[in-house]
Chain A
Amino acid sequence: MQWAIHVAEPSEIKPGLTLRDVEALSDSPRLRPVVSLVANLICEYFGQVSFTRAVFGNEFCEHLIPDRSRLEQMLEAARRARMELTFLTPYVSDAGIEKLVPLFEMLGRDGASEVVFNDWGVLNLLKRDFPRITRVQGRLMNKSLRDPRVTGVYATSEAPTATLVSLRRSSLDSSSYTKLLSDLGITTVEIDNLPQGNDLGFTEDAMTANVCVPFGFISTSRICMAAGMHYSKREKFQPGAACHHECQTHLVEYGYTNSPFGNRDQKFYLKGNTYFYAHSEAMLRSLFEQARAGLVGRLTFQPRLPMTWRRENI
């Protein structure tokens, strides 16, 4: 199994990274406990691991797509550290597709790069114009329900069996889908660690599963609350509206205390246009057991919510 780190800065890509190095990248007092929990549990399950891949980019917002020079810096840093590089891409409008083309041209020249797509249009672009780039299906293309308000309830023994089985699976359960992916040149998929648990049976169909820890996404939108900050009220909350990366200045923590079920102490995190949940210790232990059993191809440690933008511009 490969270990990867999600980076925000070229300086974070360096050889010999330790779990404590990665843990130290957390810059949020509210999120630091879960980042430390992951570091400790990785150490418990796998010992000191070696990070051989850097992951850069984001899956949720086309306004956070980096420019060429930023990507070039990342590629250069990865080369120096002898690490592989994965570039994450979000769902996009036509304008977003145009932003990605020069980046893919650069990655295509590199030859060893991998792109995670979260949009059929991005896949089409990669397939048609950049066949040398390795294509990975992103977690947004995996449609499993991941609503922490309710799905945790189905991970109990009282839940109806067929319902739980369905909620732990996705289209990947179907061999016709894994064949379709395979025909499209895709042999790796990214998935979230679900509150209700994951059925990774699809990995028997020659499909590799990558998982990020410790944050899963709940929902995302082209309409961004943070971007509304600098608009007059009537102009706020327009789809795809231009922004000044206001999302980089803060996060919002929501406390869910009135659940009709027993799970009344949940927290959800909003960063920019996307809501996230943090993995619980039980979820992490369950995932790491599956990883130890050989069902996971790569674990990516994300010490921050994966919504970062270059710092010097903020």
Chain B
Amino acid sequence: MKILAPISSLEELEMLAESGAEEFYCGIVPREWMDRYTGAVWLNRRSPKGGSLESLSDLRHLVESAHARRIPVFITLNAPYYTAEQLAWVTELARKLDSEAGVDALIVTDINLLARLSELRLGAALHVSSVAATLNTEAIRFLLEFGPSRVILPRSLTISEIERITGACRERVEIEVFMLNDGCAFEEGFCSTTHHHSVGAFCTNLSEMDAEFEASRDRALSPRQQSRLRRNLSHYREWVWYVNGNGCGATRTGLPYGPCGLCAIPDFHRMGVASLKIVGREASPFKKMASVRMVRDIVDRVRSGATKLVAIERAKSLRGEPEHCESGFMCYYKVDEGR
């Protein structure tokens, strides 16, 4: 079970490796893409203005330095779709990422690109992005026809659902799960909105909009029903605040907030999950480092045989502010502490 960390520059590498990162992933958005499509069409799942490298030479240096430490580097080519023109361009970029930069894997969402890259038989492995919404075992069986070595499960799967999928598939493909930082109020692969800076995320935007309830079938809502719906909406908006990294906040000691799966690490270790993903290519170097250290702390304890309850207690103490853990809204996964 590896710790997969986001990275966006060579300068972050030593710090993240020393903190315990065992795999890296990053994005690259060459200038030509921006010139052609502006900031509205994203090459990967991050704004071109944040979180991605700009040149193959920068990436090559990063990969060489990571390989010197025996750490693999994966690249996101995970836009939900590419048009014919874009597909040709991205396919050529993938060839260069493989042959010139020497990356270890390409993270792909679009099945059309996955099929194309599979035919090319590159040296780089293929990972299926969480944006492909692989929510069940049958979907993994289908995708295996295109040769991926790893599938990243969406963060909306429960522990028991992940266990079932992992049990059925781990002999044929590695399973990666989300571990820390950003959440998504929607099913990422079925959200057709943009996080473009001009409007922001749709989920947080909704929290600022007026909402009116209408009863079905021409009925009227009683004041009591209205009140219950309003209260539930208020709770939902609070949950969205947690999903959005607790309003992009940090603890009093500067540790990052936001959705968290630390308590599930013992379960993932038991299941044979291959990799734990820390989200946030665009995050500050400090946030990345602090995130890696938190995950590494729990992983080391689990690897050395700590019980589940001990690991969970440690995880909660690392987060530092128990009221957020107790809210139930900051967890990616609902962990059965007794199992």
A residues lining the B interface (CB < 8 Å)? 27-30, 91-97, 118-125, 140, 143-147, 149-150, 154, 160, 162-163, 165-167, 169-171, 173-177, 180, 217-223, 225-226, 228-229, 233-240, 248-261, 268, 275
Contact B142 A174 (CB under 8 A): no
Q: How far is the CA of A226 from the CA of B211 in the complex (A)?
A: 14
Q: How many Å from the CB of B306 to the closest CB on chain A?
A: 26
**6 pairs, CB–CB < 8 Å, chain A vs chain B:** A119-B133, A150-B196, A219-B192, A234-B326, A256-B205, A260-B198
Contacts of A97 in B (CB 8 A): 136-138
Q: How far is the CA of A296 from the CA of B47 in the complex (A)?
A: 34
Contact A256 B209 (CB under 8 A): yes
Contact B239 A121 (CB under 8 A): no
Instruction: Identify A94's interface contact among B85, B137, B186, B225, CB under 8 A.
Output: B137
10 nearest A-B residue pairs (beta carbon) = A121-B138, A121-B139, A143-B80, A124-B142, A234-B328, A147-B193, A143-B81, A177-B112, A121-B136, A222-B156
Return the chain B residue nearest A32 by Cβ. Answer: B218
Contact B193 A219 (CB under 8 A): yes
Contact A238 B86 (CB under 8 A): no
Contacts of B161 in A (CB 8 A): 93-95, 240
Contact B83 A124 (CB under 8 A): no
Contact A96 B136 (CB under 8 A): yes
Q: Which of B37-45, B50-58, B278-286, B294-302 contacts A (4 or more CB under 8 A)?
A: B37-45
Contact B239 A163 (CB under 8 A): no
Q: How far is the CA of A223 from the CA of B326 in the complex (A)?
A: 19
Other than A221-B156, A236-B239, A255-B210, give 10 A-B pairs with Cβ distance below 8 A.
A27-B218, A28-B216, A95-B161, A144-B192, A147-B202, A163-B40, A228-B235, A237-B239, A250-B213, A256-B209
Contacts A91-B190, A221-B186, A237-B239 known; A169 to B38 CB distance under 8 Å?
Answer: no
Q: How far is the CA of A223 from the CA of B185 in the complex (A)?
A: 7
Q: How far is the CA of A223 from the CA of B186 in the complex (A)?
A: 7
Q: How far is the CA of A249 from the CA of B215 in the complex (A)?
A: 6
Return the chain B residue nearest A201 by Cβ. Answer: B84
Return the chain B residue nearest A90 by Cβ. Answer: B190
Contact A28 B41 (CB under 8 A): no
Contact B141 A124 (CB under 8 A): yes
B residues lining the A interface (CB < 8 Å)? 36-38, 40-41, 80-87, 110-112, 115-116, 132-143, 156-158, 161, 164-165, 185-187, 190-194, 196, 198-199, 202-203, 205-206, 208-218, 221, 225, 228-229, 232-233, 235-236, 239, 326-329, 334
Contact A162 B37 (CB under 8 A): yes
Contacts A170-B81, A225-B232, A225-B236 known; A250 to B41 CB distance under 8 Å?
Answer: no
Q: How many Å from the CB of B203 to the closest CB on chain A?
A: 8
Contacts A173-B84, A174-B82 known; A239 to B40 CB distance under 8 Å?
Answer: no
Instruction: Identify A91's interface contact among B84, B187, B203, B239, CB under 8 A.
Output: B187
Contact B111 A144 (CB under 8 A): no
Which of A120, A229, A256 has its CB near the most chain B CB atoms (within 10 A)? Answer: A120
Q: How far is the CA of A236 from the CA of B221 in the complex (A)?
A: 22
Contacts A150-B198, A154-B40 known; A234 to B137 CB distance under 8 Å?
Answer: no
Contact A91 B214 (CB under 8 A): no
Contacts of B235 in A (CB 8 A): 228, 233, 236-237
Q: How far is the CA of A174 from the CA of B90 in the complex (A)?
A: 13
Contacts A93-B157, A124-B139, A238-B334 known; A167 to B40 CB distance under 8 Å?
Answer: yes
Contacts of A123 in B (CB 8 A): 142
Contacts of B198 in A (CB 8 A): 150, 260-261
Q: How far is the CA of A238 from the CA of B156 in the complex (A)?
A: 8
Contact A167 B41 (CB under 8 A): yes
Contact A149 B202 (CB under 8 A): yes
Q: How many Å from the CB of A203 to the closest CB on chain B?
A: 15
Contact B209 A255 (CB under 8 A): yes
Return the chain B residue nearest A248 by Cβ. Answer: B216
Return the chain B residue nearest A164 by Cβ. Answer: B40
Return the chain B residue nearest A175 by Cβ. Answer: B84
Q: How far is the CA of A134 from the CA of B109 in the complex (A)?
A: 26
Contact B196 A249 (CB under 8 A): no
Q: How many Å from the CB of A144 to the closest CB on chain B?
A: 7
Contacts of A160 in B (CB 8 A): 37-38, 40
Contacts A119-B136, A250-B221 known; A176 to B328 CB distance under 8 Å?
Answer: no
Contact B112 A180 (CB under 8 A): yes
Contacts A93-B161, A218-B192 known; A171 to B135 CB distance under 8 Å?
Answer: no
Q: How many Å from the CB of A229 to the closest CB on chain B?
A: 5
Q: How far is the CA of A259 from the CA of B199 in the complex (A)?
A: 7
Q: How many Å from the CB of B55 to the closest CB on chain A?
A: 22
Contacts of B229 in A (CB 8 A): 229, 250
Return the chain A residue nearest B221 by Cβ. Answer: A250
Contacts of A225 in B (CB 8 A): 232-233, 236
Q: How far is the CA of A257 from the CA of B214 in the complex (A)?
A: 19
Contact A140 B190 (CB under 8 A): yes
Q: How far is the CA of A30 from the CA of B203 in the complex (A)?
A: 22
Q: How many Å from the CB of B142 to the closest CB on chain A?
A: 4
Contact B232 A229 (CB under 8 A): yes
Contacts of B139 in A (CB 8 A): 119-121, 124
Contact B209 A93 (CB under 8 A): no
Contact B82 A29 (CB under 8 A): no
Contact A221 B216 (CB under 8 A): no
Which of B186, B190, B210, B217 has its CB near the most chain A CB atoms (within 10 A)? Answer: B190
